[in-house]
């Protein structure tokens, strides 16, 4: 893969990340503002997991027969439909269910070919350095999005920020399609994968997905109940992501020089405590501090995790492995989110949020189930 291809891939993903980061952290708050309960919002993301599970095999087949970049581009286009539908939903409307299913479809169409394509760009010996650099690009643009999105929402509403996001997605598609497809077109064959060998990866990925989605929902609403201003929440997230740029750089070096499994273990343990103490947040200053520490330590864990996954993809057919990896993780996350929804039925909103923060913090430790 030549430098032009890599730069254009970086640029496309950066533009899309910037666009989606303007609104992604506010999606649970948007539903909350529409009158949906915490259980209903969790149901939204359960439907996201269900849809993702259905579309992952389709994404794998399309990625193998058409090409990974084309399917990533398709996910960008589908994102436009998602924001258009999300903008029109009302309480208990059909758009609630449709937007959740489309959101899951986007995840399936994007992450599978993205992981496949990224693995071809990063040889194992210097994978940490390459992924660290790539994540820095995404962190920079991703840090600008939340504060800008929060300002737009505070002054002009959600419809305005959805429109701005859609405008930015269009050049992301054009950039990605401006170079030839490099994927090897081949017939997909799941017989090449030994499910008994890789099942620890699937379970570990399930706990990671569960942690990300649950923490995303409960922490966003928890912050909103204390701060209650979209521009300030955007500022908190942007400041936290800026700090993570330094963490990405250091982590990228560490995972190339030291035992990646040990970095993953210690990173997950420190991240667990950083996530857990968020329950003590009670003001704008404490939320800013605790969110920053949580995001920073999460990046250490995620860098080691990402490199380990890419390392395993070198040892088996990429597309088949990623498909099973994502399907297994999605199924586990679906079950855990459903159980959490049942658990909080009799709890007050505050108790349910605190419970969610504790459970999501603990679940991140279980990503160490991944193979050595």
Which residues, 6 or more positions from 266, have their beta carbon under 8 angstroms from its beta carbon? Answer: none
Q: Which residues in the chain show pLDDT less than 70?
A: 1-4, 92, 118-135, 180-186, 248-249, 251-256, 314-316
Inside any domain, residue 314: yes
Is there a contact between 178 and 8 (Cβ–Cβ < 8 Å)?
yes
Inside any domain, residue 187: no
Inside any domain, residue 70: yes
Q: What does the pLDDT read at residue 315? A: 65
**How many CB atoms sit inside 10 A of residue 76's CB?**
26
Please tell me the pTM assigned to this model.
0.88
DSSP 88: T
Nearest residue to 158 (alpha-carbon basis) of 76, 90, 226? 90
What is the 3-class SS of 95-133, one letter each residue?
A: HHHHHHHHHHHHHHHHHHHHHHHHHHHCCHHHHHHHHHH
Q: What does the pLDDT read at residue 60? A: 87
Helix pair 349-363, 195-227: axis angle to 10 deg: 140
CATH of the domain at 162: 1.20.1250.20
Which helix H or strand E contains 170, and what residues bound it?
helix 158-176
Number of domains the chain contains:
1
Distances in Å between the Cα of 79 and the Cα atoms of 50, 59, 153, 217 are: 17, 15, 19, 20
Inside any domain, residue 278: yes
Inside any domain, residue 254: yes
Inside any domain, residue 107: yes
Inside any domain, residue 49: yes
Q: Which residue range forms the structural domain that includes residue 52?
A: 3-177+198-369
| Tens-place pLDDT, residues 154-212 | 999 999 999 999 999 999 988 888 876 665 666 777 777 888 888 888 999 999 999 99
Residue 285 half-sphere exposure, CB side, CA atoms within 13 Å? 0
Nearest residue to 247 (alpha-carbon basis) of 214, 271, 222, 212? 271
Nearest residue to 38 (alpha-carbon basis) of 286, 343, 323? 343
- What is the rounded distance in angstroms from the CA atom of residue 242 to the CA atom of residue 141? 9
Inside any domain, residue 292: yes
Q: What does the pLDDT read at residue 300? A: 78
């Amino acid at each position: 893969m030549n430098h032009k291809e890599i730069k254009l891939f970086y640029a496309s993903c950066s533009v899309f990340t910037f666009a989606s980061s303007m609104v992604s952290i506010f999606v649970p708050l948007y539903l909350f503002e529409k009158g949906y309960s915490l259980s209903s919002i969790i149901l939204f993301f359960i439907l996201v997991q269900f849809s993702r599970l259905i579309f992952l095999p389709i994404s794998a087949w399309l990625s193998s027969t058409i090409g990974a970049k084309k399917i990533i581009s398709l996910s960008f286009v589908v994102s436009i439909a998602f924001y258009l539908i999300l903008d029109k939903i009302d309480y208990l409307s059909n758009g609630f269910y449709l937007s959740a299913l489309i959101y899951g479809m986007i995840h399936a169409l994007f992450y599978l070919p993205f992981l496949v394509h990224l693995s071809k760009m990063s040889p194992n010996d210097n994978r940490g350095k390459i992924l660290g650099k790539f994540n820095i690009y995404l962190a920079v643009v991703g840090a600008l999005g939340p504060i800008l999105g929060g300002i737009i929402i505070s002054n002009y509403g959600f419809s305005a920020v959805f429109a701005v996001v859609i405008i930015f997605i269009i050049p992301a598609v054009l950039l990605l399609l401006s170079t030839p497809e490099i994927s090897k077109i081949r017939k997909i064959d799941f017989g090449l994968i030994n499910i008994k060998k890789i099942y620890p990866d699937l379970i570990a990925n399930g706990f990671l997905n569960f942690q990300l989605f649950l923490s995303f929902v409960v922490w966003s609403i928890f912050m909103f109940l204390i701060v209650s201003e979209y521009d300030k929440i955007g500022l908190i997230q942007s400041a936290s992501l800026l700090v993570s740029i330094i963490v990405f750089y250091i982590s990228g070096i560490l995972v190339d020089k030291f035992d990646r499994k040990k970095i993953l273990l210690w990173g997950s343990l420190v991240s667990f405590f950083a996530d857990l103490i968020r329950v003590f947040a009670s003001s704008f200053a404490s939320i800013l501090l605790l969110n920053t520490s949580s995001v920073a330590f999460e990046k250490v864990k995620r860098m080691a995790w990402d490199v380990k996954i890419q390392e395993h993809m070198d040892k088996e057919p990429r597309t088949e492995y990623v498909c099973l990896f994502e399907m297994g993780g999605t199924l586990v996350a679906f079950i855990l989110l459903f159980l959490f929804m049942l658990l909080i039925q009799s709890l007050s909103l505050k108790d349910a949020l605190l419970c969610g923060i504790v459970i999501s913090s603990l679940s991140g430790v279980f990503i160490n189930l991944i193979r050595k």
